[in-house]
Amino acid sequence: MTKFAVPRAYADPEAAARQLVQLTASIEPVQDGRIHIEKINAPFLYTLQGSGSEFGAGMKYAVQQGWLELHESGTYVRLKTDGPSLNVPKEAAS
């Protein structure tokens, strides 16, 4: 029996990370460059139809690359000034 799966736009952690950086850059920081995690979590999950595991993998990738700084409490992020180009791969944008 063959099963067909629809490819997920954010299954690649780099694609998810780039989308998270793009979302973060579009939000006005509140204090000290802080952007509350729910401001990027909700659009990623509900508007872009990403999954929780894709969000987590993308966040981890973005932090490892030095694109985002995640506070130890997990409540906010900061966009690093030396982040990547905000061009999201075409497969992730659709």
pTM here is 0.80
Domain 13-81 has CATH 1.10.10.10: yes
Task: Express each pLDDT in 69-88 by its tens digit.
Answer: 999 999 999 998 654 555 54
Q: Average pLDDT of the chain? A: 85
Q: Cα–Cα distance between 53 and 68 in angstroms, integer? A: 18
Task: Express each pLDDT in 32-44 by its tens digit.
Answer: 899 999 999 999 9
State the average pLDDT over residues 52-61.
96
For the CA atoms of 71, 25, 83, 9, what is the dihedral angle to 10 degrees? 90
Q: Cα–Cα distance between 58 and 77 in angstroms, integer? A: 13
Q: Cα–Cα distance between 90 and 9 in angstroms, integer? A: 9
